[in-house]
Amino acid sequence: MRKFVVALAIGLLASAGGLGSLAPQAAAGSPQPKVVIVVGAVEGTTSSYRADADAAATEFLKFTSNVVKVYSPNATWAAVQAAADGASVLVYLGHGNGYPNPYNKVLYTDRDNGMGLNSAAGQGDSDNKYYGEAYMSQLHLAANAVVILNHLCYASGDSEWGTGRPSLATVKMRVDGYAAGFLQAGARAVIADGASGISPYIDGIFTPHLTIDQVWRNDPGAHGNYDTWTDSRNSSYESQIDPDLSHPQSDGDYYYRSMVGDPKLSTDSIGIGVTYAPTTYHAVTPTRLLDSREGNGFSGKLVANTPRSFQVTGRDLDGGGTVPAGATAVTGNLTVTDESSSWAVYLGPDPIAYPASSTINFNKGDIIANGVTVALSTAGSVSATYMAKSGNTTNLVFDLTGYFTPDTSSGATYHPIAPARIVDSRKGQGLSHKLTANHAGTFAVWNQGSVPNTAVAVTGNLTVVNSTNSWAVYLGPNPVDNPSSSTVNFRSRQVVANNLTVALSDTGTLSATYMSSGGNTTDLVFDVTGFYTNDLSGDEYVPLRPVRMLDSRWANGIVGKIYASSPRTLQVAGRGGVAADAKGMSANVTIVNQTSSWAIYVGPTPVAKPTTSNLNFVKGDVKANGVTVALGSGGVVYVTYMSSGKNKTDLVIDVTGYFVAP
């Protein structure tokens, strides 16, 4: 039984005298931070846990009126996930099921290091199902959130009651593992206390100008036996334990206090992260800002799980000028090459060793690209992480196609439209013939697929098909026979799509070049999904740090697999930091576990048999592509697995920003 039976008579509302003379207070006029308290199913102990949770809620209500309770027998995963959206503080009391444990020899992320919840509502306090760190990482916590785990086994390193004291190595693995999913979900600190009440932590969190380390160490139940190390699951964070060496439990265990996270996190910053103002867009001539093979951006290959950053603002552009210091997001094309192992690369504003989302997925030996829209850090940089087993390496290339600035005087605004196919060389549409290697082909965009002659840039999806040789295709505003950057990479005969945002020529055209050896040919398909105009008639863009809005594997956004030709609805607006009045989104779509090859459609209307696609793949691929797409009525998008019969798949969508009216 994975719960901790409290042996010490320490009341939940213990004195907070250890916090010193600073009186806890809520900032006047500030938004009310959201607190979520979860009580899982713990059989006969559940009623006492509910009582402890109610006492904690009473303490929280001294500082904020926004307290949400999710208690067994109605604490299902769906209820917890919905309630936790935007939580500044998340408290969980219930069963703990950590790793290492006596029950399995390997880590099972679907059930280890998480919560024991009800499998269905109303089934009683003995209806327990474990939801592990893979589920916890799907929570949409507020930036700099704090998680408090109370009365759990394993979370602080301890063993189940009566099984003795674990080794120190096991303790550290348990502490790091139990925090991992919550940190991926946005938490900045995870406190686990198996024996004491949590009232002092509550008071400390709402005391201004403290660090979370002070809150944890000033707890009246602190023992002063601190052991600190770098978190083995995320080197950006620090792990600490505080064993009660003088008063072990009767079974000899004394590992009942831990904290993982950023010890310097200020109580003034809990629940408050970097936010971005609405922006307008500036399309540029494609410019290579990163090529690790040549020391451009940074030198040397990326090493697995070691974030690397490259500067964007202040860099020279191929068409003249520089990326201005005020830029807060960019569009571009990310290419992976020379990787020593399969998996993924994450691109985002912050250096994260073990990200909860990915930007591009690949197999070993692939040269693969993905169009991205990504927020910049406050220093104007972007960070990349190679998500693979330790020791693996890869090269990385990034070609910039535009940037966003928080002004309305000079940039362009966006008009999302229903996806429309404006080029299909197989049918003589847009281009009357195949592309021949190293000879640019030009096609009209103005007055095609609802794009007016005032458009200065477009978003869309470029697909290569029937290529006679491997390499790449370049798409840009001007005809270039020998480009210095690329848009989509592929192998011979491979059907590959890539999302892009690209400037138009002065006459409203785009030009494509098949980068290959002489005589080779390929067909090209281009679906337009929106356009920019140099006025305020469209929507402005609000960047976000990547947030996982859909993962059907873990019932995030959509429950269950997606079946062929059966559109499914995904709510976007009002979730994960996306405004309720959002008109469109930029995102990354990843296919996994599909039973057959073909394509995925993402759009504002439900279409069982779409005529356009966003992502092409073969069976067995784990493959990603960016999308910039309009939201439908109510702030939703629809996804369709374009396949036959009873085929099915899982799908993942990470949102990187959204569009709103000025």
pLDDT tens-digit readout, 96-112: 999 999 999 999 999 99
Closest CA to 615 of 561, 572, 653, 571: 653
Regarding whether 426 and 373 lie in a shared domain, the answer is: no
First to last CA, the chain: 55
Does residue 467 fall inside a structural domain?
yes
Name the β-bridge partners of 424. 429, 525
Q: What is the pLDDT of residue 658?
A: 98
Q: Rounded to whole angstroms, what are the CA distances from 460 to 346, 419, 497, 498, 613?
A: 22, 8, 10, 8, 10
Contact 656, 536 (CB under 8 A): no
Task: Answer whether residue 148 is part of any domain.
Answer: yes
Task: Give how many domains the chain has, as a whole number.
Answer: 4
Q: What is the pLDDT of residue 627?
A: 95
Predicted confidence at residue 32, as pLDDT, reads: 83
Would you say 116 and 95 are in contact if contact means Cβ atoms under 8 Å apart?
yes
312 within 8 A of 400, measured Cβ to Cβ: yes
Q: Where is the domain boundary, 533, 563, 591?
A: 533
On the 0-12 / 13-18 / 19+ scale of CB atoms within 10 A, 341 is middle
Q: Do residues 58 and 90 both lie within one domain?
A: yes
Residue 571 token pair = 């709510």
Domain extent, residue 231, equals 35-269
Are residues 417 and 399 located together in one domain of the fold? no
Q: How far is CA 72 from the centre of its chain?
A: 29
3-state SS class at 180 = helix
Q: In sequence order, what E strands does 466-539 have?
A: 471-476, 488-490, 496-503, 509-515, 521-533
Give the residues across from 443 on adjacent strands: 510
Q: Are residues 222 and 130 in the same domain?
A: yes
Residues 223, 443: Cα–Cα separation, whole Å: 72
Neighbours of 442 (CB within 10 A): 15
DSSP symbol at 412: B
113 and 235 both lie in a single domain: yes
Strand (E) or helix (H) holding 199: helix 199-205
Give domain status of residue 504, yes or no: yes
Per-residue pLDDT at 272:
86
Distance CA 167, CA 148 (A): 24
Q: For residue 633, what is the domain's CATH number?
A: 2.60.120
Q: Are residues 452 and 561 in the same domain?
A: no
- Are 66 and 34 in contact by the 8 Å Cβ rule? The answer is yes
d(CA 630, CA 530): 8
Pair of tokens at residue 84: 């936790």
In a shared domain, residues 258 and 298: no
Looking at the domain assignment, is residue 14 inside a domain? Answer: no
**C-alpha span between 176 and 113 (Å, rounded):** 10
Q: Chain-wide mean pLDDT for the chain?
A: 92
Pull the structure tokens for residue 626.
């960016």
Q: Establish if 495 belongs to a structural domain.
A: yes
**CA–CA gap between residue 635 and residue 650 (Å, rounded):** 22
- C-alpha distances out from residue 205 to 19, 57, 168, 198, Å: 10, 14, 29, 11
Q: Per the domain annotation, does 23 fall within a domain?
A: no
The answer to whether position 346 is within a domain reads yes
- Helical segments of 207-303, H only: 212-217
pLDDT for 31? 58
Residue at which a domain ends, from 361, 379, 405: 405
| Neighbour count for residue 219 (Cβ, 10 Å) | 26
The answer to whether residue 351 is domain-embedded is: yes
Q: Are residues 383 and 470 in the same domain?
A: no
Identify the H or E element spanning 58.
helix 46-60
Q: How crowded is the C-beta side of 315, counted as CA atoms within 13 Å? A: 25
225 and 110, same domain (yes or no)? yes
Q: Cis link prior to 102 (omega < 30° from 0)?
A: no
Which tokens in the block code for residue 353?
Answer: 């060793």
Structure tokens at 560: 């269950």
> Which residue numbers in the chain have pLDDT < 50?
1-30
Residues 191 and 251 in one domain: yes
CA–CA distances in Å: residue 274 to residues 228, 270, 349, 350: 28, 12, 10, 11
What is the structure's pLDDT at 120? 95
Nearest to 415 by CA among 289, 280, 294: 280
Residues near 125 by Cβ (< 8 Å), separated by ≥ 6? 41, 42, 43, 44, 46, 47, 72, 73
Is the same domain home to 289 and 239? Answer: no
Within this chain, do residues 178 and 200 fall inside the same structural domain, yes or no?
yes
The total of other beta-carbon atoms located within 10 Å of residue 107's CB is 18
Query: Which of 385, 405, 425 finishes a domain?
Result: 405
- The SS3 of residue 281 is strand
- What is the model's pLDDT at position 436? 97
Tally Cβ neighbours within 10 Å of residue 580.
10
